[in-house]
């Protein structure tokens, strides 16, 4: 196949921008030229650019003008603004999760614990709508960077569902660890919520994706989420919490535990947990209970490698797995953590869409269902778990 060169730009120079850069360099199906980076933190952007031998831009507009695609690796509060700027110039936008959200009313005393959650749902849906409209008018597309869709275990499950005509009856899944690294995480006005949006979006989108796959393969149309019930809790902010220093505990106005019960339009269900209180490394998994099989997609940890290390210090230069507290004793080092997580497969797929027009698995419509479900879940949590219908945004 003739390889076309795609010019690309990265917005943001933090954690996500680092793994995006590495995974762009692993893409085999398209030739890519990384034009440069732009981030609001100019110093961070300059050192990111220097380390990677790329240009550092002093404005988003200048970078957008030079490229075919923009990687949106910034906090969610500015995803809409950056993606729309790219789409308006007919460029593609690879947008990190969550697609968008509600980040408060801008007032000094805005508090994520107390504001009416219907406001968050309405405003988040309005943001989604603006993004979908910008995409509709553009020659570019939104490519939603939900790596769970591309994780090899989820893609293998996709094959089982498609080839066996399976009906998924129940899914349960979780994303959890001991607390996000980002300084802005913890404030609703930057993150758009707590663990339910920040972490729950991953297993939820994995589940939403597999029900879409099932519906399309058996009946030609996706099965979509219809209603949700949810609870949220701020466990590390309880007066009774006894802090032993292993779990991040400085959140301002967000939850650190959530559970969503999703009902799909065919009556089947999914239960999604997300939290910031789990020790022992990142815990990412999705179980599928179908009418003809049962699967555990173990993204992290998994048993691809198991190591016993008697002394923590022996492994001081060994990366074991994200957010592991100790390297002593038995552990499950991930021989290629990015691969199990789906990051390189996601980039490969996106660049094949950009270069050759291949269909997008993790589309703006899937991202829209995720946002609609989660902000409906916040409304439900405010009502202590009452069922809330999910609006179709597409």
Ligand X SMILES: NC(=O)c1ccc[n+]([C@@H]2O[C@H](COP(=O)([O-])OP(=O)(O)OC[C@H]3O[C@@H](n4cnc5c(N)ncnc54)[C@H](O)[C@@H]3O)[C@@H](O)[C@H]2O)c1
Residue numbers of the site for ligand X (CB under 6 A)? 11-17, 38-41, 44, 73-76, 78, 96-97, 145, 147, 182
Q: Between 96 and 157, whose beta carbon lies closer to ligand X?
A: 96
Q: How far is the CB of 277 from ligand X (least distance, A)?
A: 18
Q: Between 78 and 374, whose beta carbon lies closer to ligand X?
A: 78
Please state the φ and ψ torsions of residue 96, each to the nearest 5 degrees.
Answer: -65, 165
Q: How far is the CB of 270 from ligand X (least distance, A)?
A: 20
Q: Between 149 and 388, whose beta carbon lies closer to ligand X?
A: 149
* Residue number, nearest CB to ligand X: 14
Q: How far is the CB of 267 from ligand X (least distance, A)?
A: 31
Q: How far is the CB of 254 from ligand X (least distance, A)?
A: 13
Q: How far is the CB of 72 from ligand X (least distance, A)?
A: 8
Q: How far is the CB of 374 from ligand X (least distance, A)?
A: 13
Q: Between 16 and 208, whose beta carbon lies closer to ligand X?
A: 16
DSSP bridge partners of 264: 225
Distance, in Å, from the CA atom of 247 to the CA atom of 239, rounded to the nearest integer, reads 15
**HEC profile for the chain?**
CCCCEEEEEEECCCHHHHHHHHHHCCCCCCEEEEEEEECCCHHHHHHHHHHHCCEECCCHHHHHHHCCEEEECCCHHHHHHHHHHHHHCCCEEEEECCCCCCCCCCCCCCCCCCCCHHHHHHHHHHHHHHHHHHHHHCCCCEEEECHHHHCHHHHHHHHHHHHHCCCEEEEEEEEECCCCCCCCCCCHHHHCCCHHHHCCHHHHHHHHHHHHHHHHHHHCCCCCEEEEEEEEECHHHCCCCCCCCCCCCCCCCCCCEEEEEEEECCCCEEEEEEECCCCCCCEEEEEEEECCCEEEEEEECCCCCCEEECCHHHHCCCCCCCCCCCCCEEECCCCCHHHHHCHHHHHHHHHHHHHHCCCCCCCHHHHHHHHHHHHHHHHHHHCCCCCEECCCCC
Q: Between 40 and 304, whose beta carbon lies closer to ligand X?
A: 40
Q: Between 75 and 281, whose beta carbon lies closer to ligand X?
A: 75
Q: How far is the CB of 142 from ligand X (least distance, A)?
A: 14
Q: How far is the CB of 14 from ligand X (least distance, A)?
A: 2
Q: Between 3 and 88, whose beta carbon lies closer to ligand X?
A: 88
Q: Between 9 and 75, whose beta carbon lies closer to ligand X?
A: 75
């Amino acid at each position: 196949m003739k390889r076309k060169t795609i010019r690309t730009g990265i917005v943001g120079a933090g954690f996500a921008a680092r793994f995006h850069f590495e995974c762009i360099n692993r893409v085999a199906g398209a030739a890519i030229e990384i034009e440069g980076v732009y981030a609001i933190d100019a110093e961070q952007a300059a050192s990111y650019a220097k380390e990677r031998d790329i240009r550092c831009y002093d404005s988003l507009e200048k970078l957008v003008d030079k490229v075919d695609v923009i990687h949106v690796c910034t906090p969610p509060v500015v995803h809409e603004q950056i993606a729309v700027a790219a789409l308006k110039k007919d460029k593609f936008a690879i947008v990190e999760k969550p697609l968008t959200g509600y980040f408060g009313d801008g007032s000094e005393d805005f508090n994520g614990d107390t504001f009416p959650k219907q406001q968050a749902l309405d405003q988040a849906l309005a943001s989604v709508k603006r993004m979908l409209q910008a995409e509709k008018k553009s020659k570019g597309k939104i490519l939603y960077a939900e790596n769970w869709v591309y994780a090899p275990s989820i893609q293998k499950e996709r094959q089982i569902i498609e080839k066996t005509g399976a009906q998924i009856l129940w899914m349960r899944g979780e994303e959890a660890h001991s607390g996000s690294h980002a300084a802005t995480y913890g404030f609703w006005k930057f993150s758009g919520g707590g663990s339910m949006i920040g972490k729950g979006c991953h297993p939820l989108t994995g589940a939403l994706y597999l029900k879409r796959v099932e519906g399309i393969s058996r009946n030609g149309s996706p099965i979509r989420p219809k209603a949700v019930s949810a609870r949220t809790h701020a466990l590390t902010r309880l007066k009774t919490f006894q802090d032993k220093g292993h779990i991040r505990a400085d959140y301002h106005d967000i939850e650190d535990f959530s559970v969503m019960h999703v009902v799909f339009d065919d009556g089947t269900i999914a239960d999604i947990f997300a939290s910031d209180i789990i020790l022992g490394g990142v815990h990412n998994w999705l179980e599928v209970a179908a009418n003809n099989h049962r699967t555990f997609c173990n993204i992290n940890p998994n048993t691809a490698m198991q190591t016993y290390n008697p002394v923590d210090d022996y492994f001081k230069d060994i990366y074991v797995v994200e957010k592991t507290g100790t390297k002593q004793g038995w552990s499950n080092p991930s021989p290629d953590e990015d691969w199990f997580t789906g990051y390189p497969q996601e980039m490969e797929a996106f660049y094949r869409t950009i270069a050759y027009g291949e269909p997008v698995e993790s589309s703006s419509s899937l991202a829209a269902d995720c946002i609609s479900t989660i902000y409906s879940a916040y409304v439900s949590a405010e009502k202590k778990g009452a069922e809330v219908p999910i609006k179709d945004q597409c």
